[in-house]
Amino acid sequence: MLLVKTNKQNKRFELALELYESYRIIQLQPAYKWLLIFVGFPLHFVVFFIYFYNKKKDGFSFKLKEARQALLASGYKKELINEYKEQFIRKQIFFKEKIVEKKLNLQAEKWAEEKLNQTLFEKLEQQGTTRVTYTETFQSLLSNQAFFFITLIPSLPMYLLIFLFQNPYLKYIFERLIMSVFVIIGVVLIVFSILYVSPFDPAAHILGETATKEQIAAFNQLYGLDQPYFVQLWNAIKGIATFNLGSSFFGNEDVVSSILRKLPITLIITVISLIFAIVIAIPIGIISAIKRNSLFDYTFMFIALIGLSIPNFWQGLIFILNFSIKLQWLPATFNPQNWLSIIMPIIVLGTGLTASIARMMRSSMLEIIHEDYIITAKAKGLSSSHVLWRHAVGNAMIPVITVIGLLFGAMVGGTAVTERVFNISGIGSFIVEKQLIPDIPSILGGVVYIAITISIINLFIDISYTFFDPRIRTKIKNQSIR
């Protein structure tokens, strides 16, 4: 029983020490330091009074004042000023610069004061007198088990932040999430500002040329377009955060509901196209790199070049003309109830993506297979397949993953042409339609929610780096230690 109790006490003590050490490291990183103060403000407020009480009790300020007076009385500061004046004059003469009396006195006074303070602190440290600091007070309280358990509930966000900081991978994900939030805020500011200064007048466009000034004023008042810039911006940010952007200017439909109906269609087509491209492109890229300058390599790279050169709308029209009108194999327009109607849009979107990934995979593989560690692995007698899959492919995937992330973002935001060709009611065509009005809530909501989707995808891509590249894992761990 005693052993179990002792083990529990040891675990609690280790937990307190971990908190203590994590707090010490956090103080070295300004961003986390201020975030820690913000999320744990009630606790910091209490600790401040404890620090203030300890500071008064330790008598450091009084001893510092006494030591300062003693040094000043001994003429130590005057000696320093005279010494620094001589150094400053010699420096000015050496560089042939004019000696300004006022500048000379100010510089000598500054250097003497810095040296005096340094001497005072060194003297007090030699006497065993230490200064109570806020950081040390907080750290000592964190190392106290009773303090931790008493303050656990009211300061839970702060403790969660400290524990998150202890795990390098959670910290990495958290930082990427914060970066994504700032990116999304930036997108909101840019898109809203462009729409705000746009010369198009939604009221005049929707109501027509016969609309009176009173009708236009009533329209602007109804949708809040008569309010100042910052009021409209705040309402837009609040609407995006709460998924309540109101009704569209044209059609009086709920903006968020419309986006939530159309965005999944675009995402489904884009994701399937991406999978289709990856499954085909990566093996082709690997084989082309292994069989460099062969007939296979030349053939597939030529096809990839053609795939990059074909415009989506032209390819879509050719597909409709041949597979829908002439052969009547596939539907010409998209229909959610007919899975055959999704085949042509997927191929059209995936063609350029397949070509880009295949070329990037080939280039990356060619660079990797000539690295020293690959040659060393072969020299050790490892089989070609083992070297290929164990050492080459994983490292070659790093730039390919980056390209996949960028291309996916471009696809999600740039599917409008393909959606128009195949009559797909997706988010791309939705934004283009609303741009002609311009329907500010619909455009802003569509662009921002696309940006959020792309940010989430990029977060997964950043996380996937850690699985392919051990150097990134090591870097993350080292950053957490520092």
Predicted local confidence at residue 12, as pLDDT: 53
pLDDT in single tens digits along all 482 residues of the chain: 444 444 554 555 565 566 666 776 777 777 777 777 777 777 777 777 777 777 766 666 666 677 777 777 778 778 888 888 888 888 878 777 777 788 878 888 888 888 877 777 777 667 666 666 777 777 777 767 777 777 777 777 777 777 777 777 777 778 788 888 888 888 888 888 888 887 777 777 777 777 778 888 888 888 787 888 888 888 888 888 888 877 787 777 888 888 888 888 888 888 888 888 888 888 888 888 888 888 887 888 888 878 777 777 788 888 888 888 888 788 877 777 777 878 888 888 888 888 888 888 888 888 877 777 777 777 777 777 777 777 777 777 878 888 888 787 777 766 777 877 887 878 877 787 777 777 788 888 888 888 888 888 888 877 777 776 666 666 655 555 55
Q: How many C-beta neighbours within 10 Å does residue 227 have?
A: 14
Block residue for tokens 């082709």? 284
The ranges assigned to domains in the chain are: 12-166, 255-436
Q: How far is CA 42 from CA 49, 53, 436, 465, in A?
A: 12, 17, 51, 38
Burial class (CB in 10 A: 0-12, 13-18, 19+), 261: middle
> What CA–CA distance (Å, rounded) separates 17 from 162?
12
Distance CA 208, CA 367 (A): 61
Query: Rounded to 10 degrees, what is the CA torsion of 296, 302, 303, 305?
Result: 140
CATH superfamily, region 255-436: MetI-like (1.10.3720.10)
Indicate the residue type of 235.
N
Give φ, ψ of 147 to 5 degrees: -60, -40
Report whether 285 contacts 361 (CB < 8 A).
yes
Put simply, whether the predicted model's pTM sits higher than 0.75 gets the answer no
Contacts of 131 (CB under 8 A, 6+ apart): 58, 60, 121, 124
**pLDDT on residue 4:** 42
Residue 355: Cβ-neighbour burial (10 angstroms; 0-12, 13-18, 19+): buried
